Structure 1
Amino acid sequence: MEKVYDPKSFEEKWYNIWSEQQLFKPSGDKTKETFTIVIPPPNVTGALHMGHALDNTLQDILIRWKRMQGYDTLWVPGTDHAGIATQIKVEEHLKKEHDKTRHDLGREKFLDLVWKWKEEYHQRITSQLKKLGVSCDWSRERFTLDEGCSEAVKTVFVELYKRGLIYRGKYIINWCPRCQTALSDIEVEHIEKQGNLWHIKYPVENSDQYLVVATTRPETMLGDTGVAVNPKDERYRELIGKNVILPITNRIVPIVADEYVDAEFGTGAVKVTPAHDPNDHEIAKRHGLPSIVVIDEKGKMTGEALHYQGMDRFQCRKELIKELEDLGYLLKVEDHLHSVGHCERCSTIIEPYYSDQWFVKMKPLAQPAIEKVKSGEIKFIPERFARIYLNWVENVRDWCISRQIWWGHRIPAWYCECGEIIVERETPTLCGKCGGTNLKQDEDVLDTWFSSALWPFSTLGWPDNTPDFQRYFPTSVLVTGYDIIYFWVARMIFTSLEFTKQRPFEYVYIHGLVRDAQGRKMSKSLGNGVDPLDIIDKYGTDTLRFTLITGIAPGNDIRFSEDKVENSRNFANKIWNAARFVLMNLQDFKIEDLDIHSNLTLADKWILSRLNTTIQNVNKELERFELGNGAKEVYDFLWNEFCDWYIEITKPRLYGDNVKDKKTAQSVLVHVLTQTMKLLHPFMPFISEEIYSFLPTKKGYLITENWPEVDDRLIRPEIERQFSYIMEIIKGIRNVKSEMNVASKKDVEAIIVTKDKGVYKEIIDGEIYIKPLAGLKTLVVKEEQGEKIEKAVTLVVSAGEIFLPLSGLIDLEQEIQRLNKEIKNLDFEVERIQKKLENPGFVQKAPQAVIEKEKAKMEEYMRKRSKIIERLQELKG
């Protein structure tokens, strides 16, 4: 091994070896249980960001773990065509480089250009994923617009249409005047903006009265077809059923009663503009009010807007307000902070737009999707996200699936001059109603989420009953962020249950967002984004992965900081140096010499017990999807127990003349290092594979090695307890020597007093470790204190009391101050636990075992406190 940890020297090397050896491919062994993940497809023209890095690290941990456990694992990679995002990028490039629009090129040539763009940028995102170490089966890579996925999309569309679950109709949708297309809710970014609330007088017909409506969008009043009030609002009860005269237009519109109206907001009277507000559209349907479109698809006023025709919507607002003020209709203007929807792609303010669109009826699809989650057949991790999912599915609305762009799955619907709509998978040649041949295909494409909704089964070959579909579907786990539960997770469940009659996955593992060190969302506007490739270039992939996984809990956001990266890099260095030490001390060691059951010392038994306990704990945490806890178990064992303790303890045996002791120490070191590299591999695959390649125990590649099995014979709780006493004594003496400025190598005397005969023997057995590691000249262990020990530092530990007669080496006053400080710390801990135990909320909710543990801790603190007070009196007296 190289002297210095340098990830650049081996990370790319190992990824290439794994790929060339086809180690990411499933075994296909039908005697094995399958474990399948389909990657949440990144945008084909996108770039790796921290969210991708976290999401794919989590998936890779799961797939590597299951692969080592012996499952027939398949991780299907792929990319999404990202209709609007990709088209915008290509259009911007076309405008900048050639000063042309897509319409100048025409549909066919423009799509040729987008495909070339896709091929160029597709390699970028996939190479970045490979840089992250993802062990996908790249031979099965899919693309939402590839032939197989496209066939699945057409099949689902046609089937849903024939079942009456897809229809075409007029509805209010999110519309971007810049992108010239409908947008899904997730493509709309809501931004708080300081605006105004204009109060406008609407005269009541044949009366001196008037109603006052308050609006944030006065330009839409030109399309009003009614005014609504709450039927329980006493102020307006007598006006219900009457009419008002719409200012400027002089249109007569009715006053209707509708419970949707919030009597507390504004004036309690709401202008109803059915063509420009989804809630107004629903009110209009309930009361039979017509819809009048006054803003067109480009954000300009239509002919229905009278003399404002052709004017930009915001210019119209200014002019209209001035006219209302001049005519005496504008009562007042208030400042008003409200949320304004913007196009996620181009930041244009979106317009609710009334137009012909294609929709999926969601209610008939919802019930099976509700039942699968309620029954536990599909499980959300953490469980709280099931409630979020159910709340949306139980209140689901029809899904607008048409988009007015060219890049995507073109809707398989053709229109005949006779008015017939023909929906088929293949292009029809004539109209079945009139026999006409002049058929025109719908210009729109499907929402990108439509093809993504089929991803778990379309990627495996459906609608054909392929071998992959038969073997690897349903998939095992979906790993994704909480922000797309509505838009993706739910729709995959809908479509899978409807078309395959099976759940798409068993578990939905939800993770949070990666935020900056201050807890802010990473964004271009804040300039706080961190490029994962920069971190990889500087620190290595393993360091980035471990930083992202450390401390993570399912569903919770994580904070990313340079300090955490440094800590992970230090951990990698620690592992590297420990492995080098072991390998440098294996002279004359052969694999046949490996023996971890004979001639074991107390330290050997302890580290083997801790190793197997750690394997047990890591398994438990990974099974619960607590991947962060699993990583911490590996970290704590490697850093604190193996590196800091066991390696130090074995040095005298490795450097000594006793061949048998040396062979045993070497055996245990090799075994523990081998097993911990296996445990580490899912989290830090490159460094673990590199170290493993130098071990005498290696059998092939670590990536396909067997996951460590727990050896119950080696788990010794009593040994672990005994060694915890020994470590506490050593750490206590070291800390005191450090506080007292006693040189670490200076020999010191120590007296340990314990009244427990069992503990007494355990400390005697541990003397061989305590003396050298604590830097003691002599160690006396007593069951009774005997004569008073003058001017000694006192430590109270779990095993008893430690006295360090340091006369001439310490300042007596300094020791008294130290003991007073320790009493203060113990008082704080006692008070903290007392408050917890006096809190009814804690006592009622906490398990009895937890309460008893807190009580035991308080008793231990009280015992230590009384001993320290006793010792203080001795020093002072």
Structure 2
Amino acid sequence: MTTELAKSYEPGDIERRWYDQWEQSGYFKPHMDTSKPAFCIQLPPPNVTGTLHMGHAFNQTIMDGLTRYYRMKGDNTVWIPGTDHAGIATQIVVERQLAEQGINRHDLGRDAFTSKVWEWKEQSGGTITSQMRRVGCSVDWDREYFTMDDVRADTVTEVFVRLFEQGLIYRGKRLSNWDPKLGTAISDLEVVSEEEDGFMWHIKYPVVGSDEFVTVATTRPETLLGDVAVAINPTDERYQHLLGKMLELPLTGRQIPVIADDYVDAAFGTGFVKITPAHDFNDYQVGKRHNTQLINVMSLQATILAKAQLFGFDGTAQGTIDLPAAYAGLSTADARKAMLADLTAQGLLLEAKPHKLMVPRGDRTGSVIEPLLTDQWFVAMSKVGDDDATGKSIAQKAIDAVESGEVRFIPENWVNTYNQWMNNIQDWCISRQLWWGHQIPAWYDEDGNIYVGRNEAEAQAKAPGKTLRREQDVLDTWFSSALVPFSTMGWPEDTPELRAFVPSQVLVTGYEIIFFWVARMIMMTTHFTGKVPFKDVYIHGMVRDHEGKKMSKSEGNVIDPVDLIDGIALAPLVDKRTTGLRRPEKAPQIAKATEKLFPDGIPAYGTDALRFTMASYATLGRSVNFDFKRAEGYRNFCNKLWNATRFVMMNVEGKDCGQDESLPLEFSFVDKWIIGRLQQAELDVTEALETYRFDLAAQTVYEFIWNEYCDWYVELAKVQLQTGNEAQQRATRRTIVRVLEVALRLTHPLMPFITEELWQTVAPLANAKHTDSIMVAAWPVAVPEKIDAAANARMDAFKDLVNAVRNLRGEMGIGPAVKAPLFIETADASIAEFIPYLKLLARLTEGSIVSALPEDDSPVAISGDARLMLKVEVDKAAETARLTKEIGKVSAELEKLTAKLEKPGYVDKAPAHLVERDRAQLAELNDKLEKVKGQLAKLA
């Protein structure tokens, strides 16, 4: 006996109940049958710095859809969940929390501070996993990891030690992006350069022993304290006589040479470029080519030093030089003001021209990033490791993996982005001067010698009798996340998981972390396992708001996906901040984000409607403008599916649905048509999911269920169930329930909850309940032989006939409640088969096939070779009055709209889309007026 469905669809209870049951039943775990294909997918681990956003809901919908699809196919399927410790981001969050209490991390000390971060991690991580459950993510929670848990920490250490022993990790003094606010180096990928208003200052550098001077243009005059040369282009004939001559470096008392280098653009500025290799990445390369010194004039706090530090390009210290005492301790901004004043006083500042310049800022702090010489740890990207039998560098292995097609980007245009970065890759700076993260497993003795080990005892064994101190730096967050494809599979042990799930089938991610994460996973996995981490990289677009704006807190348009699932009540509103909210802490952002669309708050759409919306947006590579109205439409789709299932159950439950194969079945052309359409839907959805076209999968499911099954087949089945013989009714009941059961399985990866609830009721009647859950039921496999061309042709002819009659009703102004007789002039006697169906769908009292239509002024429609006429007795007086009133109403609207468009200046000044809308409406009104006048003329 099946369970009776509730009268209305209420997603909340269904979702919570089924998710708990799925998890407790172990359905999320792989079956580990190695005779079956393996499907594995890695969750891009969200940072433990807050909550999930709409972008997470988007890519998790795609990942879960794939996971559920391959699980239903019977593959050995697993989706690995995890969270990332997000070193910089998380440390900033906790430091800000402490600052509100008047506490500095240095007051606490490293151990106490990291304890506070662990507390925050537990709180935030729990929020994230709760949200993922609400979105319906069928991840194997028993395999959940955190990038700083013990297992991952051991793997990170093992990888670091092996790379060091292979000569691929080294420590050196290099120019790095330094965030003075954070007090740490950051990667190029964490630097955001934005155009800002500034100045180009023209400064005179006198030529030693001459009255001549050269003019150097610079946007950063404060760095001239570290100049080691002035360069010209070697082909610049204007300044050849100055090559090799010495210049007086303003404000310092030092002399520097004029050198030639191709880096200089002779056509830009004055043709002279100051070379400051300790404070500019381009200058660093020029200085290296000319074997200059490196003169560091800034502290780690971005203040001017009293004594500049001198280094060689091999990192060796070469002493110090005094800097002007007036600038010591000043910030770069204050030093710039003081130096410009002194240059002006000495007659060395020629002019200051307004100039647009790109200012590098930290993406987390917004502070200006300073190129500074610091001691950092690096992974060599282009060097071949000691004893590496492949003879290839880490970077080359990753380049080859994509070039060979072992790793495929979807859409494929992202290959160009990947290759461009990989072919110009620099050594990876992996150290960060933070407290939160994987502490680098290296120790120093009193002489600064380095000992790397898996633990302190191992390091000490390499330095007998010496006192060691631990390296304080931690590893870049992306170092540990780069290991995820194999650190989650038991490496370095040769585990069944490592053999089965590396490589995984696909990585689903956004384009913004191709360099941060995707490339580094390919590098690390190919180097340590000899296999690629994944076969496909599916790059999806960004989720934006309905106007195409990036979702951000400053815009007030950030939406928590759970708010769309559960809804947020704002009414009754008083100040749009607190009153009436179920979650009042969200009032400001929710009110701002929805006040135009939903003044009373966000309706509850449920998880399935949200997921289906996301799937429908998942066109390859395109960004998504999220429209609440589409979510509302798919909430209606859920209702449609629910109500259709209730109708089916009411008509088949307790009756013969064709389970006994020995009893006769007589299928109509309608039954055969919907069975064939189901086969085509199965083919199309399967192909769409195999090619990551979730938008096409959603479109196919929607059109099949709503348009073909509900609007056509279910309506026609009513006729067959009322008028057919026993064999026909049995065939119809069998068809209506079996097609629905398969459609539910076909829809399950996109809308898991409602399909599970309905399938539990439908499957027994369809003789298909061979498992306890739809999520482990077999994926539908099409049988193309069941696509009946003749039935399709009959259905097309019938649809054309129905639409023709419906158009006639509209043209004649016949209301939905009015039934009328239909005359069909045709030589095709087979149309008689359509009459019972036509009476229902076209609302007829009867349908008659005649040799000639009645002599009448009623309008005639054509459908194929048939001529159609509706015969309606009309109260001419009442209809004349109605039509006359309608003509007056439409004429008034026309007059008003025409006056608006003819108003002087309106067409030229109004937004183009509004003018276009008004013109379209004018055309519609004119067309409507002509039709109503035509009806009145016929009536007369």
TM-score band w.r.t. shorter chain: 0.7 to 0.9
| Structure 2 equivalent of residue 290 of structure 1 | 293
Task: Give the TM-score of the pair, scaled to structure 1.
Answer: 0.87
CA distance in 2, matches of 1:804, 1:242: 103
Counterparts in 2 of 1:188-203, with a 5 A limit? 188-203=191-206
**Residue among 361, 370, 375 paired with 2:404:** 375
CA distance in 2, matches of 1:569, 1:440: 61
Letter of the 1:256 partner, please give it.
I
Tell me if 1:169 matches 2:185: no
Tell me if 1:635 matches 2:702: yes
Counterparts in 2 of 1:391-402, with a 5 A limit? 391-402=420-431
CA distance in 2, matches of 1:78, 1:704: 24
Question: Is the partner of 2:197 in helix, strand or coil?
Answer: strand
**Residue among 26, 37, 42 paired with 1:38:** 42
Counterparts in 2 of 1:212-231, with a 5 A limit? 212-231=215-234
| Structure 1 equivalent of residue 549 of structure 2 | 520
1:264 CA displacement: 4.1
**Residue among 546, 565, 568 paired with 1:536:** 565
User: Cα deviation per residue 1:561-619 (whole Å; 9 max; x = unaligned)?
Assistant: 21111111111111111111112222422566376992111111111111111001111
Question: Is the partner of 2:456 in helix, strand or coil?
Answer: coil
Stretch deviating more after TM superposition (205-214 or 117-126) = 205-214
CA distance in 2, matches of 1:578, 1:353: 67
| Alpha-carbon spacing, 1:551–1:734, altered in 2? closer, same or farther (3 Å) | farther
Letter of the 1:27 partner, please give it.
H
CA distance in 2, matches of 1:804, 1:199: 89
Tell me if 1:404 matches 2:471: no
CA distance in 2, matches of 1:170, 1:776: 88
1:730 CA displacement: 1.5
Letter of the 1:142 partner, please give it.
Y
| Structure 1 equivalent of residue 472 of structure 2 | 443
Identity of aligned residues (%): 44
| Structure 2 equivalent of residue 494 of structure 1 | 523
Question: Is the partner of 2:296 in helix, strand or coil?
Answer: coil
Letter of the 2:797 partner, please give it.
Y
1:250 CA displacement: 3.4
User: Cα deviation per residue 1:355-385 (whole Å; 9 max; x = unaligned)?
Assistant: 1111111122122212221121111111111
Stretch deviating more after TM superposition (137-146 or 341-350) = 341-350
CA distance in 2, matches of 1:632, 1:737: 30
Tell me if 1:684 matches 2:751: yes
| Structure 2 equivalent of residue 835 of structure 1 | none
Please say if residues 551 and 632 of structure 1, whose CA atoms lie closer than 8 Å, have aligned partners that are also in contact: no
| Alpha-carbon spacing, 1:356–1:588, altered in 2? closer, same or farther (3 Å) | same
| Structure 1 equivalent of residue 370 of structure 2 | 351
| Alpha-carbon spacing, 1:728–1:469, altered in 2? closer, same or farther (3 Å) | same
Stretch deviating more after TM superposition (266-275 or 122-131) = 266-275
User: Cα deviation per residue 1:116-161 (whole Å; 9 max; x = unaligned)?
Assistant: 2222222111111111110000011111111221122112111111
**Residue among 755, 773, 780 paired with 1:708:** 780
| Structure 1 equivalent of residue 644 of structure 2 | 578
**Residue among 131, 150, 157 paired with 2:160:** 157
| Structure 1 equivalent of residue 614 of structure 2 | 548
1:669 CA displacement: 1.4
1:716 CA displacement: 1.6
| Structure 1 equivalent of residue 253 of structure 2 | 250
CA distance in 2, matches of 1:423, 1:379: 37
1:349 CA displacement: 2.1
Stretch deviating more after TM superposition (570-579 or 183-192) = 183-192
**Residue among 317, 325, 333 paired with 2:352:** 333
1:789 CA displacement: 7.7
Stretch deviating more after TM superposition (449-458 or 243-252) = 243-252
Letter of the 1:67 partner, please give it.
R
Letter of the 2:513 partner, please give it.
I
| Structure 1 equivalent of residue 838 of structure 2 | 770
CA distance in 1, matches of 2:647, 2:739: 13
User: Cα deviation per residue 1:693-749 (whole Å; 9 max; x = unaligned)?
Assistant: 222343311111111111233212332233123223322432442354222343446
| Structure 1 equivalent of residue 669 of structure 2 | 602
| Structure 2 equivalent of residue 668 of structure 1 | 735
Please say if residues 167 and 359 of structure 1, whose CA atoms lie closer than 8 Å, have aligned partners that are also in contact: yes
Counterparts in 2 of 1:24-63, with a 5 A limit? 24-63=28-67
CA distance in 2, matches of 1:618, 1:465: 37
| Structure 2 equivalent of residue 867 of structure 1 | none
CA distance in 2, matches of 1:227, 1:735: 83
CA distance in 2, matches of 1:168, 1:153: 17
| Alpha-carbon spacing, 1:193–1:528, altered in 2? closer, same or farther (3 Å) | farther
| Alpha-carbon spacing, 1:24–1:224, altered in 2? closer, same or farther (3 Å) | same
| Alpha-carbon spacing, 1:721–1:418, altered in 2? closer, same or farther (3 Å) | same
Please say if residues 416 and 431 of structure 1, whose CA atoms lie closer than 8 Å, have aligned partners that are also in contact: no
| Alpha-carbon spacing, 1:597–1:248, altered in 2? closer, same or farther (3 Å) | farther
| Structure 1 equivalent of residue 585 of structure 2 | none
Please say if residues 172 and 376 of structure 2, whose CA atoms lie closer than 8 Å, have aligned partners that are also in contact: yes
CA distance in 2, matches of 1:377, 1:633: 31
| Alpha-carbon spacing, 1:798–1:338, altered in 2? closer, same or farther (3 Å) | farther
User: Cα deviation per residue 1:752-800 (whole Å; 9 max; x = unaligned)?
Assistant: 678xx9xx56645434323431234565669xx9789874545566777
| Structure 1 equivalent of residue 654 of structure 2 | 588
CA distance in 2, matches of 1:334, 1:795: 77
1:182 CA displacement: 1.2
Task: Give the TM-score of the pair, scaled to structure 2.
Answer: 0.82
Stretch deviating more after TM superposition (39-48 or 342-351) = 342-351
CA distance in 2, matches of 1:447, 1:532: 30
Please say if residues 824 and 853 of structure 2, whose CA atoms lie closer than 8 Å, have aligned partners that are also in contact: no
| Alpha-carbon spacing, 1:607–1:286, altered in 2? closer, same or farther (3 Å) | same
| Alpha-carbon spacing, 1:788–1:599, altered in 2? closer, same or farther (3 Å) | closer
Letter of the 1:26 partner, please give it.
P
Question: Is the partner of 1:353 in helix, strand or coil?
Answer: strand
| Structure 1 equivalent of residue 905 of structure 2 | none
Please say if residues 411 and 538 of structure 2, whose CA atoms lie closer than 8 Å, have aligned partners that are also in contact: yes
Letter of the 1:620 partner, please give it.
E
**Residue among 71, 91, 98 paired with 1:94:** 98
**Residue among 6, 13, 17 paired with 1:2:** 6
CA distance in 1, matches of 2:459, 2:20: 53
CA distance in 2, matches of 1:628, 1:236: 63
| Structure 2 equivalent of residue 83 of structure 1 | 87
| Structure 1 equivalent of residue 390 of structure 2 | none
Letter of the 1:40 partner, please give it.
P
Which sections of structure 2, spanning at least 5 residues, go unmatched? 309-322, 383-392, 568-604, 888-933
Which sections of structure 1, spanning at least 5 residues, go unmatched? 818-870
Counterparts in 2 of 1:464-475, with a 5 A limit? 464-475=493-504
Please say if residues 665 and 728 of structure 2, whose CA atoms lie closer than 8 Å, have aligned partners that are also in contact: no
User: Cα deviation per residue 1:467-517 (whole Å; 9 max; x = unaligned)?
Assistant: 321222221111111111111111111111111001111111111100111
| Alpha-carbon spacing, 1:353–1:766, altered in 2? closer, same or farther (3 Å) | farther
| Structure 2 equivalent of residue 266 of structure 1 | 269
CA distance in 2, matches of 1:340, 1:274: 18
Letter of the 1:134 partner, please give it.
C
Please say if residues 536 and 544 of structure 1, whose CA atoms lie closer than 8 Å, have aligned partners that are also in contact: yes
CA distance in 2, matches of 1:317, 1:657: 93
Please say if residues 153 and 438 of structure 2, whose CA atoms lie closer than 8 Å, have aligned partners that are also in contact: yes
| Alpha-carbon spacing, 1:258–1:746, altered in 2? closer, same or farther (3 Å) | same
| Structure 2 equivalent of residue 852 of structure 1 | none
Question: Is the partner of 1:245 in helix, strand or coil?
Answer: strand
| Structure 1 equivalent of residue 802 of structure 2 | 730
Stretch deviating more after TM superposition (733-742 or 429-438) = 429-438
Aligned residues: 814
Tell me if 1:69 matches 2:77: no
RMSD: 2.9
Counterparts in 2 of 1:501-512, with a 5 A limit? 501-512=530-541
CA distance in 2, matches of 1:140, 1:562: 35
| Structure 2 equivalent of residue 361 of structure 1 | 380
